[in-house]
Structure 1
Amino acid sequence: MNAVPRASRRVAVARQRGFTLLEVLLAFALLAGASVLLLSILSNGLRDVADAERHGEAALHARSLMDNFGRMERLRPGGRNGSLDDGRYRWALEVQRVQDPLPAPLPTPGQATSGPGADGIVDAGEPVLYRLDLTLQWGEGGPKQTFRTSTLRALYPLPEDL
């Protein structure tokens, strides 16, 4: 008959057995954890793409608004606000008159220090400098839903500006 001892047969049979129930459950748990992690990474990526798209759209709106301020109507110090895209984007503009950052030329010897330009009098031939601060918000207007930009605009004054 068979010359293989009985103990050897048991070892051979034990080696041919499959995974235990505990090993299979552990494998499924690891697979489920990896799937949840992968899905959360994908959903965060999609959310970030949507945020970037809204930020890009806000930047385009801001550029369009900044290009038109001072061209369609006269800039005046103060604030104004409005909305775009049927209220999806809300904007607020703050206009401030600022001093020219360039220092005034030094008077030549013998030149009077009073006259045009002295004592804060503006020369009608010199442009007036304005600072424009624009804030665009969308959604609830949190830190990730706000776009801010600033620029300087030089305009020649009208008689009522002097």
Structure 2
Amino acid sequence: MRALKRQRGLTLLELLVAFAIMAMSLGLLYRVMGGSVRSAGEMERYQRAVVLAQSLLSLRDTVSDTGWQQVGETSGYQWQIQSTPYATGLSGPAIPALHEVSIVISWSEDRRQRSLELTTLRPERKPPSQVRR
């Protein structure tokens, strides 16, 4: 009798299992990469909101005695600025009154409303007659 030659190669079942493993791996890789791209986009929009808030704050280094109220919209970002007097417990001719300035930046992202709020203190602008020369 002639010895049977052993076949080499993959059977159909082994090939199907290999394709199934590859398909699951590619699906997982696709989800991970999609999440990273989405996170990078969210961080970019958040960073733009921070830059806008800092730019708005740099418009004024002092606040008038009536305060600072302003609203606007820029490149898909809505913003609102409000100030309120800030009590320090200190008084005197050389100590300026302070105002707490709050900036709220809002934007839509994937049908969700996002917002960023920054708060700082600014001195009150003295009238020209009180400015020392």
TM-score when normalising by structure 2: 0.77
CA distance in 2 between partners of 1:75 and 1:46 (Å): 46
Q: Greater strand share, 1 or 2?
A: 2
Q: Matches of 2:65 and 2:105 in 1, distance apart? A: 19
Which among 21, 24, 31 is matched to residue 33 of structure 1? 24
Taking the aligned partners of 1:155 and 1:77, their CA distance within structure 2 comes to 8
Which 4+ stretches in 1 moved above 6 angstroms? none
Structure with the greater alpha carbon radius of gyration: 1
Q: Contact between 1:95 and 1:133, CA under 8 Å: does it hold in 2?
A: yes
1:95 to 2:83 alignment: yes
Q: Percent identity?
A: 26
Q: How large is the Cα RMSD of the aligned pairs?
A: 2.8
State the match for 1:42 in structure 2. 33
Give structure 1 stretches of 5+ with no counterpart. Answer: 105-116, 118-122
Counterpart position of 1:84:
74
* 2-structure distance, mates of 1:66, 1:75: 17
- How far, CA to CA, are the matches of 1:156 and 1:69 in structure 2? 10
TM-score by length of 1: 0.65
Query: Is the CA contact 2:78–2:107 (under 8 Å) kept in the aligned structure 1?
Result: yes
